[in-house]
Amino acid sequence: MRRRGRKRRKNVAYVAGVSMTPVTRTLGKPHKEVAAELLAEALEDAGLEKNDIDTLVVTPPNLAGPPSFMFVCALAEYLDLRTKHINMVECGGTSGAMAIKTALNEIFLGRTEFAAVIAIDQRFDLQPGQVDINVFMHEALQTQICLYGPYDSLYGIGAPIPYYAMSAQRYMEEYGATEEDFARVAVMLRNHASKNPLAEYRDPITVEDVLNSRYLSPPLKLLDCSPFASGGACVILANPYVTRPLPKPPVWITGVGEWHEPDHFIPQNGSITSFTSVKKSAEEAFERAGMEPVDVDVAEVYGVFTATELMIYEDLGIFPPGEGYIAVKEGKATYGGNVVMNPSGGRLSLGHPAAATPVMEMVEVVRQLRGECGERQVPGARCGLVHAEHGMLNGSIVFVLEV
């Protein structure tokens, strides 16, 4: 009852339609074709037509390059879309969530009835001999120094794994967690993914498999990490003042929270096992929704490494500080527990096309709240959460969704 009244207030919108591709190594087709297929499927899901869309927001179709200058304009032409707003949004791991928030802002401004958000990440699968090694090194070095800055990058950081590995090491030191505790997270997520036909990794694994996989950056091993992947997703957001009847029940976005600390990767002060941005963004989203962490039935979070996943559970307020690994051990984060975390399989097993990930998270939560998830349906899910982060959790966005 309480929820019904809140929906009429300002700054609330709902998700009308969703679509997503399977997560794979490569999508095997050009970005624009993927975008057209995603939009068509989401429009059908929403019971809408292309001309109903008056805002289009995208993320760069390959987050870390090569360049995608003016991609959104080229895509609008390809889709023959006339809109009141188009935009391409990039902010690292939060890009997809930021694209959703940009579309929400257009709705809250009162300028938009229906907004489409399309996020695609297509890795370039280069074969030896396909590219001039000098050209490749030139671009790779520039990208690396741009991303990790003129100080850290000279120590050879090529992927963010070492930062998160040191965060994982501190988590073990501070809370007494072990590599086995991290392995249990990977096993739980793989179990979830085994029931998701869109997931990249579905074959069951054991704690021993994770412990026996090779170290990428200790204490993190291969199966503690989410590999690069390709995939795309689309959500169609609707203005609450639209009165047209739609075929599917609305899934309301009742809370949004966002916070960014100035630190880019290594904070100059403070913890690397608990993050202000995640805490503040969750607190804001829950407050706006009038909900508490304990109300969450299902959540999709941006845990790109097993240890990181646990820290996010804790900073969101879903489990107490330092107890995320105990909750996973006791089965509290899966079916039959307090809440189901990452029923899609999460970043580790659904797979992680970074730009698309936050939008994929929202697609999963919307399908869960509609009750469309079949074998992996979270029974009676009414309240869901979507989380994304950038720069080793120094920036974070949280959405609370309700039916």
Site residues (CB under 8 A) for another protein, limited to 89-128: none
- As given in the structure block, the two tokens for residue 109 are 């401004």
CB of 113 to another protein, least distance (A): 41
Of these, 157, 211, 326, 403, which contacts another protein (CB under 8 A)? 157
Phi and psi at residue 241, to the nearest 5°: -85, 0
Identify which of 377, 355, 341, 384 has the alpha carbon closest to the alpha carbon of residue 119: 355
Indicate whether 230 belongs to the interface with another protein (CB under 8 A).
no
Of these, 156, 245, 379, 380, which contacts another protein (CB under 8 A)? 156
CB of 354 to another protein, least distance (A): 19
Indicate whether 136 belongs to the interface with another protein (CB under 8 A).
no
Indicate whether 173 belongs to the interface with another protein (CB under 8 A).
yes
Site residues (CB under 8 A) for another protein, limited to 189-218: 214-218
Of these, 66, 154, 208, 212, which contacts another protein (CB under 8 A)? 154
The C-alpha atoms of residue 135 and residue 240 are separated, in whole angstroms, by: 50
CA–CA distances in Å: residue 311 to residues 91, 98, 304, 305, 314? 21, 22, 11, 10, 5
CB of 270 to another protein, least distance (A): 10
Q: Are 401 and 384 in contact (CB under 8 A)?
A: yes
Name which of 12 and 220 has its Cβ closer to another protein: 220
Burial label, 129 (beta-carbon count in 10 A; 0-12, 13-18, 19+)? exposed
Name which of 41 and 152 has its Cβ closer to another protein: 152
Cis-peptide, bond into residue 219, ω within 30° of zero: yes
CB of 178 to another protein, least distance (A): 15
Indicate whether 167 belongs to the interface with another protein (CB under 8 A).
yes
Name which of 51 and 212 has its Cβ closer to another protein: 212
∠ Cα 161 223 311 (to 5°): 60
Site residues (CB under 8 A) for another protein, limited to 261-320: 262, 266-269, 272
The C-alpha atoms of residue 157 and residue 185 are separated, in whole angstroms, by: 25
Indicate whether 151 belongs to the interface with another protein (CB under 8 A).
yes
The C-alpha atoms of residue 62 and residue 79 are separated, in whole angstroms, by: 19
Q: Name the site residues for another protein (rule: CB under 8 A).
A: 133-134, 137-138, 140-142, 144-146, 149-152, 154-158, 161-162, 165-167, 169-170, 173, 214-220, 262, 266-269, 272
